[in-house]
Amino acid sequence: MRQFFSTDIFLVASPRLYRFFVVLFLIVLLSIQLATAQYYTNKRHENKNNPNYDQRKKLTYGFLIGLHTTAYQIKYSDAFVTPAFDSVYSVDPEWKQGFVLGFIVNYKVAEFLDLRITPQVAFYEHQLAYRYLRTTGQPTNEQVIETTMVELPILAKYQSIRRGNFRMYMIGGVKPGIEASGKKELDAITSRLSVREFNLALEGGVGFDFYYPLFKFSPEIRFSRGINNLLKDPNNPFGQPLSRINTNTITVYLVFQ
């Protein structure tokens, strides 16, 4: 039976995705252990690293590295249910991994509120598997879209009271991004899916601040949801079954300030 509804990408898993979540679980577990160790160390010694770190300067800088897993979320077009697409059984997004490098500009707005801008370069790979009926002789055609994005997340960071050398925080905002790699030649090829160069996403997540004598280290996890339609050419053979393409991304960041 054909699929007539939007694909739920969270049901389309892969071994790479499972490995990503294993790594994510280990990072979260390590963060909890670090927080616990910091708490008991502070209880014993009652000292703080960089006690005036958050009050000393309004404007601070840093850098980040990140590992992400990402996939498209699609919506089928009305044409998908017509006889012209009888041979196409489904279009399935698959999770792919990549990484991020960037800088941080952090401005302290209030005691528990910061405004953060993080210009960054992100390397993405998206894949859609077009599955056909066996009678066509071509069971699957995989469209792989590799992009290098220049992104400028604008985020608000709301943080808890500092306890010793540790605090928790929530972070969220918008993430505009534009593709840096040129692909005009590829867009001219009708045998490839064509997507837009600009993406806008909403982002939210949580993190932990660990204060050390010379710097602050913050492991952080964010979920990003694209809000604009990336489908560029609906008349393309691979675009005709679709009416909408959005991005879903989970990223683990390691932040140093």
82 belongs to a structural domain: yes
Tokens linked to 221: 């996890």
3 belongs to a structural domain: no
235 belongs to a structural domain: yes
CB 232 within 8 A of CB 211: no
Confidence (pLDDT) at 13: 47
136 belongs to a structural domain: yes
190 belongs to a structural domain: yes
Q: Is the pLDDT of residue 6 over 50?
A: no
Most confident segment among 6-10, 80-84, 129-133, 206-210: 206-210
Domain count across the chain: 1
Tell me the C-alpha distance between 97 and 134, whole Å.
30
Confidence (pLDDT) at 47: 76
173 belongs to a structural domain: yes
Tell me the C-alpha distance between 16 and 18, whole Å.
5
Say what percent of the chain tops pLDDT 70.
Answer: 75
Confidence (pLDDT) at 148: 93
Residues making up the chain, counted from first to last = 257
| CATH at residue 202 | 2.40.160.20
Instruction: Enter the pTM of the model.
Output: 0.78
50 belongs to a structural domain: yes
Owning domain of residue 66? 9-256
Cβ atoms < 10 Å from Cβ of 185:
7
Mean pLDDT of 135-146: 77
209 belongs to a structural domain: yes
